[in-house]
Amino acid sequence: MPKAASDSKKASSAKGKKDTKKDKRAPTAYNLFVKANLQPWRAANAGKTPGEAMAHMAALWREHPDNPNRGKEPKARKPKAGAKKTKRGKENDAPADIGSDETIPNSDD
């Protein structure tokens, strides 16, 4: 006997919802620094892009007294998985069959 349509809808909607409430993490020292300094910087530097604003915040944070990593060199970044070291458009990126001495049969032959 087929199930009623309303029963299947209830089952699928119950799966997607979770009833657990997690406490929010406390903001980091960097989050508090940006919150306190970003708005005044934007007011003084109207017309700058958000990227420029965050780059300036990062530069200020590097030497800020609240920064636990102040004075240390930034960590080296790991290369992305599967990233190639050569850029596209160079000779060594061309497929092997291009420029080979083999001739391709022509329908005119």
What type of residue sits at position 104?
Answer: I
What type of residue sits at position 19?
Answer: D
**How many Cβ atoms sit within 10 Å of the Cβ of residue 62?**
13
- What confidence tens digit (pLDDT) does each residue in 41-58 have? 999 999 999 999 999 999
- What confidence tens digit (pLDDT) does each residue in 25-37 have? 999 999 999 999 9
Tokens matching residue 99: 């420029």
φ, ψ of residue 66 in degrees (nearest 5): -80, -10
Distance (Å, whole) CA 35 – CA 61: 12
Predicted local distance difference test score (pLDDT) of residue 15: 62
Predicted local distance difference test score (pLDDT) of residue 10: 53
Smallest CA-to-CA distance from 93 within 101, 85, 82 is with 85
